[in-house]
Amino acid sequence: MIYNLDKINEMAEGDQDFVLSVISVFLDEVPEDLEGLEKAINERDYENVYKLAHKIKPNVDLLGMERTRAAALEIETLGKSNASMDEIEEKFPLLKKDVLQVVSELKKDFDV
């Protein structure tokens, strides 16, 4: 398991509906944002690479996905500075793999 709910549970203070709503938002938004990010990378659209990586970052952070957050931050920074698209393309597969794995795990763990 590459996610943990410590941050969410701390914020929720025992409110399971809150935990489920955060997970639902993650499952609704992050795969869509990931798809958009992949499209932006393929189109060499630095502005949208930056925006989408920036949007993904807090969602993976809430789920305690440190390695994934670091990858999103690197992609965000590279996109903002119009840096090497090759570097972005090199870092994206890790982000994608981790997000898809967590989406699958969350669906299984929470029966959604």
* Residue 28 resides in a domain: yes
**CATH at 67:** 1.20.120
Number of domains in the chain: 1
Averaged pLDDT score across all residues of the chain? 95
Domain of residue 62, residue span: 6-110
* Residue 45 resides in a domain: yes
Q: What would the pLDDT profile of 25-63 be if each residue is shown by its tens digit?
A: 999 999 999 999 999 999 999 999 999 999 999 999 999
What is this structure's pTM?
A: 0.92
* Residue 1 resides in a domain: no
* Residue 17 resides in a domain: yes
Mean pLDDT of 73-100: 95
- The amino acid that residue 77 corresponds to is T
Does residue 1 register a pLDDT over 90? no
Q: What would the pLDDT profile of 98-107 be if each residue is shown by its tens digit?
A: 999 999 999 9
Q: Output the pLDDT for position 111.
A: 87
Question: Which residues are CB-neighbours of 112 under 8 A, at least 6 positions away?
Answer: 23, 24, 27, 106
* Residue 44 resides in a domain: yes
Question: Which residues are CB-neighbours of 72 under 8 A, at least 6 positions away?
Answer: 53, 54, 56, 57, 60, 95
Q: Output the pLDDT for position 96.
A: 97
Query: Please, are residues 47 and 80 in contact by the beta-carbon 8 Å criterion?
Result: no
